[in-house]
Amino acid sequence: DSLGQGCVCALSFLDPLDDYEILHRIGNGTYGDVFKVRGAKLQFILLITLIPVWDDISSIQQEITTMKECKHKNIVAYYGSYHRNTKLWICMEYCGGGSLQDIYHVTGPLKEKQIAYICRETLQVRTEHKISASVAKRKSFIGTPYWMAPEVAAVEKKGGYNHLCDIWAVGITAIELAELQPPMFDLHPMKALMLMSKSSFQPPKLKDKAKWSPGFHSFVKMCLTKSPRKRPTAETLLQHPFVTQLLTRNLVIELLDMANNPDLHQALTIEDNDQDRAESHGLPPTPQVHMGACFSKVFNGCPLKIHCAVTWVYPKTRDQFLILGAEEGVYILNLNELHEDTLEKLLPQRCTWLYVMNNVLMSVSGKSSQLYSHRLTALFDYHSELQQEPIFFICCRKFAVSLKIPDTKGCRKCSVARNPYTDSTFLCAAVPSGLVLLLWYEPLQKFMHLKHIPVSLPDPLPIFELLVLVTDELPQLCVGVRECRLGNDELQTEQQLEFDIIHLNGTPNSQPVYFIHVVLNIVMYCIFTVCLQDSVLAFWKHGLKGRSLHNCQVTQEITDETRVFRVLDIVLQSTPTDNPSSTSNLYILTGHESSY
């Protein structure tokens, strides 16, 4: 809406170049060329399609009116149009993520939950009558053949169709995302149309019955009901279990991340449903096992005293960088150029904590341990151009590369958590006066102060983790956990633990909860744990052990008494046991979500 206020909402005959600066041509669509443009007055990015117009444009104006009325988060926004020098300029929202087809050509078939999320969001648009319900009964032959409903393909025989043809398209799209192409895609479009218009035509199904859940098969079957009179509406389909399960935006964020970083998303486990295995020829078949995580050495002989590590992809080159926070400053390592074996200093100040949000680096830095915000892209540009130690740009706050976060001097700990139910990301900092809670504000690309909570915190503070609840808008903070003794000698099959929880409305609270041991007869002093998709890794001084979350089987076990291991977020640091002050080797923990 804020963008729309700066654009012309009706058909204008003014010069569009007075309002927009053309950046470059993206490509060409069905009707004309497509350009990426920037608003001349308001600095936002739009997409403009130039359509040659020689005849009456009344039909196009009708389409523009329809687009103008379609206001929904899942529909590309329309901002205005111009008629100038026999060309129609249509201004639309710029979506830089690419089409689903572009994405699955990189990622391969989507996961079932990702497909469910996309189907649900599409159906929600349909329930608000944003698609073709504006016309009660159409008789035109418009659309892509492979996604057409049978009544559209046979429009001359059937006499028309209504908005339920969109439900058919949802089912075809679901198959496309699962199989990388719609049904009958190997046929000529006219051949496909001819088959669909026949009375003997049978609706398509998912090819692999075993690969997909019964719920997915059922959903596709309902969408692809041949008779439009029996085909369910979007409202009915939104009650289907396939789309009523817990589906968050994280599913598509992960998908976009995979599309943008294909080399970093290697399969870490063998698919359980892999039916195309070679014959064993009398030998016992190789069992399918969960491989958990693996470790790749990225640096040998690191002299730094490292406290923390994160990764970040530089948008201009798509290179992935490892960012290390150490006593000596903030250093970067290009993971795409490991042959260089060079750590470069990005910031000179001591750093004890790092977190990357979009292209913003949050750090606890300096002698006073204050929370800072850094614009990573600008910081990297400055570093690459001058190849010298950068400084903090505090002179002009509006354009500063690095900024101090107010009221965070003496920061001891930080924790970040995202609430998937509200799509809010919180950062909580422990400061001498209590807690500072920040909230990520997407339009400004920054964490903004939400509230200060005066509370006395434990010292030391080994545990500092934000917890998200379904029912609460704000997270809770865990600052301690200990065994709760009941004062009797009865043998307990469950261990009762007491958590120190701070509700971020300022009211401390602790209450006992139950924790069931996975293994009762093994005791290990665990320093750090990492939860993977299907297993958990427990690290200790001289190694690690991994167990499957499904059956508790050991997936990995490493013990090396000659080395001391330390986990620094996604980096595993290894130093000699007999010489702790020696240089260390650094390994990337592949398989953990942060390494993506």
- The predicted-structure confidence for 191-243, as pLDDT tens digits, reads as follows 777 888 888 889 999 998 899 999 999 999 999 998 888 999 989 999 999 99
407 vs 553: CA distance, rounded Å? 47
Of 372, 462, 461, 445, residue with least CA distance to 409: 372
Q: Position of tokens 């496909």?
A: 192
Of 587, 519, 588, 530, residue with least CA distance to 552: 519
- Are 87 and 195 found together in one domain? no
With respect to residue 197, please indicate whether it lies within any of the assigned structural domains.
yes
Query: Is a pLDDT exceeding 70 seen at residue 182?
Result: yes
Q: What pLDDT is stored for residue 52 in this prediction?
A: 64
291 vs 546: CA distance, rounded Å? 9
Query: Is a pLDDT exceeding 80 seen at residue 455?
Result: yes
Own/partner pairs, 230-233, CB within 8 angstroms, 24+ separation: 231/164, 231/167, 231/168, 232/167, 233/164, 233/167
- Are 71 and 114 found together in one domain? no
Q: Which helix (H) or strand (E) holds 64?
A: helix 58-69
The model's pLDDT over 421-440, given as tens digits with 9 standing for 90+, comes to: 778 899 999 999 999 999 99
SS3 state at 171: helix
How many domains does the chain divide into? Answer: 2
Higher pLDDT residue, 388 or 218? Answer: 218
With respect to residue 564, please indicate whether it lies within any of the assigned structural domains.
no
Q: What pLDDT is stored for residue 369 in this prediction?
A: 94
Higher pLDDT residue, 443 or 157? Answer: 443
Residue 30's CATH number: 3.30.200.20
Q: What pLDDT is stored for residue 41 in this prediction?
A: 64
Task: Indicate the residue type of 486.
Answer: L
Lowest-pLDDT choice from 12-21, 321-330, 347-356, 415-424: 12-21
Query: Is a pLDDT exceeding 70 seen at residue 384?
Result: no
65 vs 11: CA distance, rounded Å? 10
Of 264, 369, 359, 358, residue with least CA distance to 325: 369
16 vs 51: CA distance, rounded Å? 14
Query: Is a pLDDT exceeding 60 seen at residue 12?
Result: yes
SS3 state at 124: helix
With respect to residue 149, please indicate whether it lies within any of the assigned structural domains.
yes
Q: Say whether pTM exceeds 0.75.
A: no
With respect to residue 25, please indicate whether it lies within any of the assigned structural domains.
yes
- Are 128 and 76 found together in one domain? no
Q: What pLDDT is stored for residue 158 in this prediction?
A: 58
Q: Which of 240, 259, 278 is the last residue of a domain?
A: 259
Q: Which of 60, 93, 126 is the last residue of a domain?
A: 93
Contacts of residue 311, Cβ cutoff 8 Å, sequence gap at least 6: 320, 321, 322, 323, 335, 356, 570, 594, 595
- Mean local confidence (pLDDT), 484-513: 61
Residue 166, domain extent: 109-259
Peptide bond into 214 cis (omega under 30): no
Q: What pLDDT is stored for residue 567 in this prediction?
A: 85
Q: What's the Cα-to-Cα distance from 513 to each of 16, 347, 500, 506, 510, rounded to whole Å?
A: 63, 43, 11, 21, 10
Query: Is a pLDDT exceeding 70 seen at residue 570?
Result: yes
- Are 120 and 213 found together in one domain? yes
Reported in sequence order, the residue ranges of 434-485 that DSSP labels E, i.e. its strands, are 434-441, 446-453, 465-467, 476-483
With respect to residue 133, please indicate whether it lies within any of the assigned structural domains.
yes
Q: What pLDDT is stored for residue 18 in this prediction?
A: 78
Q: What pLDDT is stored for residue 135 in this prediction?
A: 35
Query: Is a pLDDT exceeding 80 seen at residue 470?
Result: no
Higher pLDDT residue, 593 or 47? Answer: 47
Query: Is a pLDDT exceeding 60 seen at residue 514?
Result: no
- Are 121 and 71 found together in one domain? no
Of 244, 205, 199, residue with least CA distance to 224: 205
Query: Is a pLDDT exceeding 70 seen at residue 381?
Result: yes
- Mean local confidence (pLDDT), 357-380: 93
| High-pLDDT (> 70) share of the chain, % | 70
- Are 68 and 149 found together in one domain? no
Residue 231's CATH number: 1.10.510.10
- Are 47 and 167 found together in one domain? no
Query: Is a pLDDT exceeding 90 seen at residue 373?
Result: yes
Query: Is a pLDDT exceeding 70 seen at residue 507?
Result: no
Of 459, 405, 462, 410, residue with least CA distance to 437: 405
With respect to residue 515, please indicate whether it lies within any of the assigned structural domains.
no
- Are 15 and 147 found together in one domain? no
- Mean local confidence (pLDDT), 25-51: 66
- Are 199 and 159 found together in one domain? yes
Q: Is there a contact between 130 and 72 (Cβ–Cβ < 8 Å)?
A: yes
- Are 82 and 114 found together in one domain? no
At CA 450, angle to CA 444 and CA 455, rounded to 5?
A: 150
- Are 74 and 115 found together in one domain? no
Q: Position of tokens 């971020």?
A: 504
The model's pLDDT over 355-364, given as tens digits with 9 standing for 90+, comes to: 999 999 999 9
533 in the Ramachandran plot: left (φ > 0), alpha (ψ -120 to 50) or beta? alpha
With respect to residue 157, please indicate whether it lies within any of the assigned structural domains.
yes
Query: Is a pLDDT exceeding 70 seen at residue 60?
Result: no
- Are 7 and 127 found together in one domain? no
DSSP 231-296: SPPHHHHTTSHHHHS---THHHHHHHHHHH-GGG----B--TT---PPP-TTSPPPPP-B---EEE
Query: Is a pLDDT exceeding 90 seen at residue 308?
Result: yes
With respect to residue 206, please indicate whether it lies within any of the assigned structural domains.
yes
Q: Is there a contact between 387 and 343 (Cβ–Cβ < 8 Å)?
A: no
Q: Is there a contact between 558 and 294 (Cβ–Cβ < 8 Å)?
A: no
Query: Is a pLDDT exceeding 60 seen at residue 266?
Result: no
Q: What pLDDT is stored for residue 204 in this prediction?
A: 92
Q: Which of 67, 93, 119 is the last residue of a domain?
A: 93
Q: Position of tokens 């349909």?
A: 126
